[in-house]
Amino acid sequence: MAGAIPSNRPIRWVSFDLDGTLLDTVDDLHAACAGMLADLGRPVLSVADIRRGVGRGMKVLVDRCLVGEGRTPADVLGQGIERFQHHYRRENGLNARFFGGVLEGLEAFRGMGLPLAVVTNKPIEFSDALLERTALHPYFARVLGGDSLPERKPSPAQILDVT
């Protein structure tokens, strides 16, 4: 089987992404985006719009909400990021939902004695807060956010740092 781990190599870590893998956080992101947009006098976007904009980090999400990826003036983007972070500090984790089987899977890995890590592009401040608010933090021996190292995903630096 291509890509299979050789049986003579022990598994040292099991790493997970956070948003969209362990937790559905789109409602929290939507609430923070809605607050940001209202603060800036912009129309609020739908949850579906926010879901389509998620996937490449906070800066890209804010940019997509304001004008469109890569087209938001730097000063407006800076204001948007500041307002988004303000609202997200309150909203982060309040409406997050576990994907099916997540808790059972984490328990199974813990039962096998495997150390677990979160590797995400979400800034560490928000990653730690989300894991605390959802009671997931105790499962993880390591948490690396998008600002934990000089490079973030898709660079392999975070995964290599964990192993």
Please identify every residue annotated as catalytic: 17
Written as one string, the DSSP assignment of 72-97 is S-HHHHHHHHHHHHHHHHHHTTTS-E
CA distances from 51 to 16, 29, 36, 47, 63 (A): 20, 9, 16, 6, 14
CA distances from 48 to 67, 99, 121, 122, 127 (A): 17, 18, 21, 20, 23
SS (H, E, C) 116-151: EEEECCCCHHHHHHHHHHCCCHHHCCEEECCCCCCC
- What is the rounded distance in angstroms from the CA atom of residue 53 to the CA atom of residue 69? 9
